[in-house]
Structures are given as structure tokens and as C-alpha cells.
Amino acid sequence: MGDRLLVIEDNEQNHYLMRFLLEKHGFEVEVAETGRAGVAAALARPPRAILLDIQLPEMDGYAVAEAILAHDTLKAIPIIAVTSYAMAGDRERILAAGASGYIEKPINPDTFVDQIRSYLGGDRDA
């Protein structure tokens, strides 16, 4: 089985599309629909990478990134913000909270998987 990714996203259509694209390319995908559930999932079974929305119930993406990175066992996991937040300073703010990268929504299905792979280091084929 391929690398396991954790998608922390509360919008069902968004996480369905990300799951579909990633699984089609050999990734195993776990979805958490709230910030707290995402932190718990990352602690229970550390993924290869975390795809994180910023606007989430219970905890926003900034708090989620900080909570995840507070655990030594999770510090090396890339966190990629996948968000529709596109206001001035949002990218810088999530990167300052610990995200490794930033992908704006709506995602481009033609480039999304390659963007994720770029944060994983090395190429993966299906």
C-alpha cells in the first residue's frame, strides 16, 4: 500500500475530491472533519503528510498545526495547507504556524497530486 496521508477538511465535497485524486495515485487517505479529530488522528497513527484546511470546526488550522507540531513524534511530518483563504497574510500566517506549504482552493485536479508529491520528497508513481 502507498503512503498514508491525513486530510483534515470539514467540507465533504472537498475531502471527497482530494481522497479520489490521491487514492487514484496510490495513496492511502484518512479524513478527519474537525481540527480536534485531526490532531487525534495524527497522534494515533502518524501519517506521511497532513493536508490541512484553515477554516475548521472546533479548532482552526493555525491551532491544529501548532498542536500537531507540539508533539516531537509529529514534527517531521509535512503539513500542507489546502485552503480557500487567500487574503493578504494568510499564506504567511499558516506557514508561520508550521505549515510546510500552501495550496489554494479550488484545487486543480490536473496538478494537485504532483503538488502533494513535491512536499513528500522524491517521486511516487501509481
The per-residue DSSP string of 23-72 comes to HHTT-EEEEESSHHHHHHHHHHS--SEEEE-SS-SSS-HHHHHHHHHTSG
Closest CA relative to residue 97, chosen from 66, 69, 70, 72: 66
Q: What are phi and psi of 37, to 5 degrees?
A: -65, -35
pLDDT for residue 86: 63
Question: Which residues are paired to 28 by β-bridges?
Answer: 4
Residue 97's CB is within 10 A of a number of other CB atoms, namely: 21
The confidence score (pLDDT) of residue 123 equals 46
What does each of the 126 residues of the chain score in pLDDT, given as a tens digit?
469 999 999 999 999 999 999 999 999 999 999 999 999 999 999 999 999 999 998 899 999 999 999 999 999 999 999 988 667 788 889 999 999 999 999 999 999 999 999 999 754 443
How far apart (Å, rounded) are the C-alpha atoms in residues 83 and 90? Answer: 10
Amino acid 121: pLDDT: 78
Beta-bridged to residue 103, according to DSSP, are 82
Q: What is the pLDDT of residue 113?
A: 97
- The pLDDT of residue 91 is 84
Homologous superfamily of the 4-119 domain (CATH): Response regulator (3.40.50.2300)
- What pTM did the predictor assign? 0.92
